[in-house]
Structure 1
Amino acid sequence: MSQTIHFPFPTSSSSSSSLLTPFTSNPSWTLLPIGTKCLAQSKAFVHFQYQPTIWDARFVESLKTDYLPKTDMELLMKEKEKQVKGMLKKVSKPLEKLELIDVIQSLGISYLFEEEICKILENMYHDDDQKMNDNLYATSLRFRLLRQYGFHETQDIFDEFRHAKGGFKESITGNVKGILSLFEAAHLLSDGESILSEAIVFTRTHLLDNLSKSNSNINVNMANPIRRSLETPSHWRVQRSETRLFIEAYESHKTMNPLLLKLAKLSFNTAQAQHEMELRRISRWWKSIGITKNLNFARDRLVECFVSNIGCCWEPRYERCRIWLTKLLSFALVIDDIYDVYGSLEELELFTDAIDRWDCNAMEKLPHYMKICFLALYNTVNEMAFVILREQQFDILPYLTKSLSNSVNAMLTEAKWCHKGYIPTFEEYQRNGSVSSVGFVFLMAAFFATNQNINDGVLHAFESNHPLLYSSCLVCRLSNDLATSSAEIRRGEVASSIYCYMQEKNVSENDAREHVKGLIMEMWKEMNGFMFESSPFDRSFVDIVLNFSRTSLFMYQYGDGLGAEHSKSIEHVLSLIVNPIPIDEPTHKNSS
């Protein structure tokens, strides 16, 4: 039976007292006579295997598109880009500038106009005459966009809408568009920003109240966006998925601009065509290394891995990053299943030693299936390191292998907990779980793959598990636990954040889940601060880290998205990889 639960919003007294995004916990495995798993308390064994993929190599090879990058299409996009740049220069009113930037961003084409958008927002940030303090909608939109682009707009900008003694004015509750805008803006809060925490609770309460009233100020067109925001704030959603939804909705919007719509469709479809080509390359590589044939107990989720990495970095310039992360995530699932499902404790210790040593001679004592996995991983990671050494004259291999070693040692620790029946403290689980999630490996690989500036500060940040990285990895681990812990407990995997907190605090599973969801909110506050505060990382990489967190939330929001295909994960693949957006004449035109 599935469980539907929700994320909390922070309140002034507690970060875990209200409800938000649904998570569904469903088993993604079937009972079959293959593999063993220790049930720590009973010392019994359970046999199970993951479902086979529905997206096999034949499916991937069948993908065809009419939007392959061609000279005529590139010229058409360049022409449209030039026209949009002209639009950005012509707009003079502050609110119109903000709304145009917001639409461009929602349509997924802001990457084409980064310089122009940043210049406009920088001018607005330094110009007090453009603050529009009496307009809740405009003030909230301005606040959100400035923070998204790295400008530290303070929460005090909302004082105009609060009483002198504190608390938001009830008079703004009838402005549904304004309080929805404030609700979304407030989710870019950082640690200690109590006004924004209060704003989330205040706006959520009144948005729910308006939805429940038949005579409210909400029209039909606003009701659905409000419900979606209450389910998951836009700041937490996977942006690439949101782009597709927005393009389809924007086509029939009364303020639709045909130029923006056409450019957005061309951009989406040409990027999708590039993604299809990349996926075919990765699929052929995956088949050639023989992992699925030799380790058929493990998850084969190559397509889902690739789609999740589109969520992290979809832009055309990040081709290498998508390919690297897909390879590493595919390996991570297999290795996770070796440690969680199939390997004996003795085998796991040998495999961990081989990763620690990063030496082919360490393979001698491994069973055949582990030899296949280790050598394939060894060759793949070494090839990545060679590419960066050749291009940037820097050897990243010691950093990647150390991060991999940390991850498998954390997995081994969890396997030992299981075999010994040991239940760690919640804090102990968090520290280990953030590393066993393999998130640090992904983020490090993403950093090197996107040609970021390599310096001592960055290298130290990776070695010390910088708070930005740690928070994102913990969101990944806790999101996984929320979706899979019930099934894992039934399988004997007692070491999950939910179970550890239940045992340590002697509380119900529901109370433990609420605490974990509150912790996820705290991690978002931590990460948000690095959008506009000093850090060793460039903003482009901070965006990738945030996208990694968003993807983690999405993959586990409706179940174990990397365990078994479900309707939402299938829909995700179809919308981002398989089906282009039709480019027909829009149903409504506005030439202005």
Structure 2
Amino acid sequence: MGHGQKIDAWTSKVGELKEKVKRMLTTSKGSVEEMIMIDEIQRLGVAYHFEKEINDALEHIYDANAFSKFKDSGSNFKEGLSSDAEGLLSLYEAAFYGTHGEDTLDEAISFTRGQLTSLMTHLDGPLAAQVGLALELPMRMRIPRLEARFYISLFQQQKGPNDVLLELAKLDFNLVQVNASNGAKGADKVVEGHMPCSKVPFCKRSIGRRLLLDIGWDLSAMDQLPEYMRPCFLAVLNTVDEIEEELMPGVKFCRIDYLKHEMKAVVQAYFKEAQWLKTNYVPTLEEYLKISLVTSGYFYLTAASYVGMGEEATKEAFDWLKTHPKFIMDSCLIGRLVDDIQSNEHEQKRAHVASAIECYMEEHGVSRPEACQKIREMVTSAWKDINKFCLKPIPFPLSLLLRVVNLTRVIEVIYLHGDGYSNSFGKTKEMISAILVNPIPM
């Protein structure tokens, strides 16, 4: 069977399996089994096929006081929870969806983390793996596709797994991987074609990160640049031009115009950081964040991700982006601060602008550990703000918000064990291979 035929067969089989799962959800409606199945569907990465069924089910069971039920009359978490690893894990994961003022959820995180850490020495098999991963980083902050790959391997180790769900999850993962890897190959060809690595050795790892002048969007302006920067400038122009050619005529102007606007903003902010570096200036944290949230690249990445979306990315959505709403600001804040926490000591060994850590230490006269703790608290606060915004009714599809949430998750995962962006040959390479290169054996 040829590659194309195999893809067609997989696609057809996925359609069949989706209908079987929908019938299972209908049969189990209103039962505990339905909730278990929904949890499995979400963890296996196929929830997007069943959004209506899941939303209908969850509307009937939501209870704002649900977490209070885990406490006894003395407002302490019930003693019976201490030995229930699965229950503790569920409570722990759910608590990270909390917002500001939900003290019970903050207490739940502290309680469950302590209990799960103590239980780890007594756990084995799939449950031990799940708990260990959750204690490193909760599911709310992890990359869904990567989590799906991990959970599929655990799911098939369970006693009596749902074979229909398992087959659907594997086929769906491999199909998505084929589509995503084709897109990645296309992007790589664009980079190689426009910006040869022999001329700019760092280009594939940080395309255009250090363009320091805002010289407009005109090929003739390239003459104003030094020789070593010209390949970067040409790559940016050509890549955006090629994106523009792929867009429908009706959406070209507002999308590409905004993308160019954000790229220029990044370049201008890099120039400001270069001035700070040259004068050995350490700004206040507020002053630093005003610039570094832009140089984090997350405004630009959000815009770039919206550019390639369908009709849901309306002109109104781009107008909203232009206001730099707090939701996007929180994502940028997490991206910048998580990066700074993990990479600041290494970066400060060479010529580098001060990070959030150094800015806070200088401004408040505290030690590095104290500054890191404060910065981590800011990250936690920003996640709560993101959670709150996701609960609000908005005039845009949820898919637009998920783009932002997933970009935020990427930074948490890449920097989990150090600077996985600058040093991308270890865990980062393994994660990319798991998502884009290595299919799941059927």
Per the TM alignment, residue 221 of structure 1 is displaced from its structure 2 partner at its CA by: 4.7
Q: Select the residue among 460, 465, 469 that pairs with 2:324.
A: 465
Query: Does structure 1 residue 72 correspond to structure 2 residue 17?
Result: no
Runs of 5+ in structure 2 lacking a partner?
none
Q: Is the 8 A contact 1:80 1:263 kept in 2?
A: yes
The 5 A counterparts of 1:225-236 are 225-236=130-141
Q: What TM-score results when the alignment is normalised by the length of structure 2? A: 0.92
Q: What TM-score results when the alignment is normalised by the length of structure 1? A: 0.70
Per the TM alignment, residue 119 of structure 1 is displaced from its structure 2 partner at its CA by: 2.3
More displaced 10-residue stretch of structure 1: 161-170 or 240-249 = 161-170
Instruction: Give the ranges of 4+ consecutive aligned residues of structure 1 lying more than 6 Å apart after TM superposition.
Output: none
Per the TM alignment, residue 575 of structure 1 is displaced from its structure 2 partner at its CA by: 1.6
Runs of 5+ in structure 1 lacking a partner?
1-64, 126-152, 302-332, 340-347, 584-592
Structure 1 161/424 Cα, relative in aligned 2: closer, same or farther at 3 Å?
A: same
User: Who is 2:200 aligned against?
Assistant: 295
Query: Does structure 1 residue 100 correspond to structure 2 residue 37?
Result: yes
Per the TM alignment, residue 202 of structure 1 is displaced from its structure 2 partner at its CA by: 1.8
Q: Is the 8 A contact 2:45 2:169 kept in 1?
A: yes
Query: Does structure 1 residue 434 correspond to structure 2 residue 285?
Result: no
Q: Is the 8 A contact 2:194 2:234 kept in 1?
A: no
Between 1 and 2, higher relative CO (CA 8 Å, sep ≥ 6) is seen in 1
The 5 A counterparts of 1:514-529 are 514-529=373-388
Structure 1 577/387 Cα, relative in aligned 2: closer, same or farther at 3 Å?
A: closer
Query: Does structure 1 residue 182 correspond to structure 2 residue 91?
Result: yes
Per the TM alignment, residue 367 of structure 1 is displaced from its structure 2 partner at its CA by: 1.5
Q: Select the residue among 171, 178, 196 that pairs with 2:105.
A: 196
- Root-mean-square deviation over aligned CA pairs: 2.3
Number of aligned positions between the proteins: 441
Per the TM alignment, residue 456 of structure 1 is displaced from its structure 2 partner at its CA by: 6.3
Whole-angstrom distance in 1 between the partners of 2:98 and 2:4: 39
Q: Is the 8 A contact 2:274 2:353 kept in 1?
A: no
Q: Is the 8 A contact 1:68 1:270 kept in 2?
A: no
User: Who is 2:231 aligned against?
Assistant: 372
Whole-angstrom distance in 2 between the partners of 1:221 and 1:402: 48
The C-alpha deviation readout for 1:404-457, integer Å capped at 9, x for no partner, is 121111111111110001001112112211111111011012123212545565
Structure 1 573/220 Cα, relative in aligned 2: closer, same or farther at 3 Å?
A: closer
Q: Select the residue among 353, 364, 372 that pairs with 2:214.
A: 353
Amino acid across the alignment from 2:239: T
Query: Does structure 1 residue 407 correspond to structure 2 residue 266?
Result: yes
Structure 1 456/266 Cα, relative in aligned 2: closer, same or farther at 3 Å?
A: closer
Whole-angstrom distance in 2 between the partners of 1:76 and 1:536: 35
User: Who is 2:82 aligned against?
Assistant: 173
Q: Is the 8 A contact 1:530 1:542 kept in 2?
A: no
- 1:353 match: secondary structure: coil
The C-alpha deviation readout for 1:167-223, integer Å capped at 9, x for no partner, is 4344433333222211110000112222211211122222223336x6xxx565533
Query: Does structure 1 residue 335 correspond to structure 2 residue 208?
Result: yes
Amino acid across the alignment from 2:406: N
Whole-angstrom distance in 1 between the partners of 2:191 and 2:353: 32
Whole-angstrom distance in 1 between the partners of 2:67 and 2:43: 24
Per the TM alignment, residue 551 of structure 1 is displaced from its structure 2 partner at its CA by: 0.5
Whole-angstrom distance in 1 between the partners of 2:318 and 2:432: 35
More displaced 10-residue stretch of structure 1: 284-293 or 525-534 = 284-293
Q: Is the 8 A contact 1:389 1:395 kept in 2?
A: no
Q: Is the 8 A contact 1:107 1:264 kept in 2?
A: yes
User: Who is 1:90 aligned against?
Assistant: 27
Q: Select the residue among 223, 226, 232 that pairs with 2:128.
A: 223
Per the TM alignment, residue 394 of structure 1 is displaced from its structure 2 partner at its CA by: 4.7
Structure 1 393/430 Cα, relative in aligned 2: closer, same or farther at 3 Å?
A: closer
The 5 A counterparts of 1:27-66 are none
- 1:522 match: secondary structure: helix
Amino acid across the alignment from 2:178: A
- 2:401 match: secondary structure: helix
Structure 1 433/535 Cα, relative in aligned 2: closer, same or farther at 3 Å?
A: farther
Per the TM alignment, residue 111 of structure 1 is displaced from its structure 2 partner at its CA by: 1.8
Structure 1 419/81 Cα, relative in aligned 2: closer, same or farther at 3 Å?
A: same
